[in-house]
Amino acid sequence: MVKLVRLKTRSFYFENKYFRPGTTCLLKPRSELFEGYCNLTGKNWLAGGTSISNRDGMFSNDFFVSDVAFRRSVYCFDNRLTVLTTNIQLLQQNKRPVITTLFQSNLDSNKSTSFILNNDEKITEFPYEKTFENDHLDSITDHRNLTYYLHPNENSNQSYRIIIKYSEQEMIYCNQYYLINPKDNPIIDVKTKTFREHNFEDNEKYFKTTKDNFGLGYIEHLNVHDSTSSFVYTILIGHEQLNEWIEEFSHPVTDPWSITDLSQLPPSIILSKTDDKHIFYDRDTDTTCYTCYSKERLEVNTGLVRSFGQPCMAMVRGRGPGTIVVSIATTDFMLNETMWMVLKGQWNNAELVSDDENGCVHVRSELTDNGDTKVTVWQRLYMPVEFHITQ
């Protein structure tokens, strides 16, 4: 079960808005703060998720706007959250850094909070700033006791650097709340970003400067011009069992269906991170997660699934013979087609986990000519559909 941790903080108003934890964006000058993203500017409709038993879940999105593009899947199991980002590409001609933020939050007032590198080196100094090149850093435990495992094996062929800062940050927000003199307001029309001074920076003198002490960690992705850049990391609560957990990634078996003793597998396995599909396996729950991004390539041939009928997100828990649980969803309403998937081998008795009160969600299975099973799913309002099926 995913546990939510409530963090007590004094304020988030002073953070740098380009460092939103978990996001990937361009690092721009402060004067371009208003150049934010809006969901209406996205060019792709695939963005959503699904879950099993209202406990474990995943979501994916195909992000494509004017200046940056990437494909991301997030997998949430128990106290583990794994983020897989691929196809990272800089689209604009201005060569600004492309970053993914791991964490940013304010420090305690006494600045005494420490953080830990590689579960060994404890850093207590303030201010602090350091850049780590590629594989010189495997884990970070931040000042909120959240650990970021950076999967050195998965990221070994990528070009990146990691920046960690513990320092005072200042920001100037050009809105009426922060005016030095409410009677001297340079804002003409904030919606069109029209101000009294022609150069945006010249308007900052009318607003108060906000300051606070922050911890910040982020990834700068390099070689982002051909959409081959990728990165994966996992967030854990605490770090006390980190060494044992990392040690299990040395297990050599990476095919979940080649053995019956699951303890011989790593805690999680990235089975695919190609241009068009993400496939992830979680050992503790014996669950495989699939995301297909392209309607041109829907063959997966991984685990129990042969293929899908359209771009979608799906989770399959368990293995045959016996009963498995499947959850599937899509938000790509431009296709306007009924969802379906093909399971390897013969399956029957497909049954919804819970009844649909509106009577419009259904699931049906039928054998194909080659001995596989086609499962057709009718969903409502693009909501996930969870069902059992037996081999």
Percent of the chain with pLDDT strictly greater than 90? 59
**Dihedral sign, Cα of residue 77, residue 314, residue 100, residue 173:** negative
pLDDT score for 39: 44
Instruction: Tally Cβ neighbours within 10 Å of residue 306.
Output: 20
Confidence band, pLDDT 50/70/90 cuts, at residue 200: confident
Longest dimension (CA), the chain: 77
Over residues 39-44, the mean pLDDT reads 60
Amino acid at 208: K
308 contact partners, CB below 8 Å, separation of at least 6: 290, 292, 298, 300, 314, 339, 340, 341, 342
DSSP alpha helix (H) spans, the chain: 242-247
Residue 7 has pLDDT above 60, yes or no: no
State mean pLDDT over 118-144. 91
- Extract the tokens encoding 166: 């513990």
Please tell me the predicted confidence (pLDDT) of residue 292.
95
Contacts of 115 (CB under 8 A, 6+ apart): 122, 123, 140, 141, 142, 143, 164, 166, 215
Residue 43, pLDDT > 50, answer yes
Helix (H) or strand (E) holding 233: strand 229-237
Q: How confident is the model at residue 11 (pLDDT cuts 50, 70, 90)?
A: very low
Q: How confident is the model at residue 9 (pLDDT cuts 50, 70, 90)?
A: very low
Q: What is residue 33's predicted lDDT score, i.e. its pLDDT?
A: 58
Q: What is the DSSP string of 278-314?
A: EEEEETTTTEEEEEE--TT--EEEETTEEEESSSEEE
Cis peptide before 256 (omega within 30 of 0): no
More confident residue, 77 or 12: 77
Residue, of 42 and 280, whose pLDDT is higher? 280
Is the confidence at residue 41, as pLDDT, over 70?
Answer: no
| Structure confidence at residue 1 (pLDDT) | 42
Interstrand relation of 323-329 and 312-317 (parallel, antiparallel or unpaired): antiparallel
Q: Tokens at residue 191, please?
A: 């919606």
Alpha carbon distance 214, 12 (integer Å): 10
Quote the DSSP letter at residue 183: T
Q: Indicate the pLDDT class of residue 28, thresholds 50, 70 and 90.
A: confident
Could you tell me which residue, 114 or 377, shows the higher pLDDT?
A: 377
Residue closest to 246 by CA, chosen among 259, 261, 230, 233: 233
The rounded mean pLDDT for the chain is 87
Q: 29-33, 142-146, 165-169, 297-301: lowest mean pLDDT where?
A: 29-33
| DSSP helix/strand/coil, 341 | strand
pLDDT digits (tens, 9 = 90+) for 342-375: 999 999 999 999 767 677 888 999 999 999 999 9
Peptide bond into 321 cis (omega under 30): yes
Strands 115-117 and 98-106: unpaired
Which of the four pLDDT bands, split at 50, 70 and 90, describes residue 317?
very high
365 in helix, strand or coil? strand
| pLDDT band, very low/low/confident/very high, at 4 (cuts 50, 70, 90) | very low
Confidence of residue 334 (pLDDT cuts 50, 70, 90): low
Domains identified in the chain and CATH numbers? 1-250 (2.70.98.10), 255-391 (2.60.220.10)
Predicted TM-score (pTM) of this structure: 0.89
Query: Please, which pLDDT band fits residue 112 given cuts at 50, 70 and 90?
Result: low
User: What pLDDT shows up at residue 14?
Assistant: 44
Tell which wins on pLDDT, 243 or 41: 243
Confidence of residue 236 (pLDDT cuts 50, 70, 90): very high
- Positive or negative CA dihedral for 243, 246, 250, 253? positive
Mean pLDDT for the stretch of residues 28-37? 60
Task: Identify the pLDDT of residue 366.
Answer: 96
| pLDDT (0 to 100) of residue 224 | 93
Strands laid side by side in the 121-123 sheet: 47-52, 56-64, 68-77, 80-90, 229-237, 146-149, 139-141, 115-117, 121-123
- Burial letters for 335-366: b for 16+ Cβ neighbours within 10 Å, e otherwise? eeeebbbbbbeebeebeeeeeeeeeebbbebe
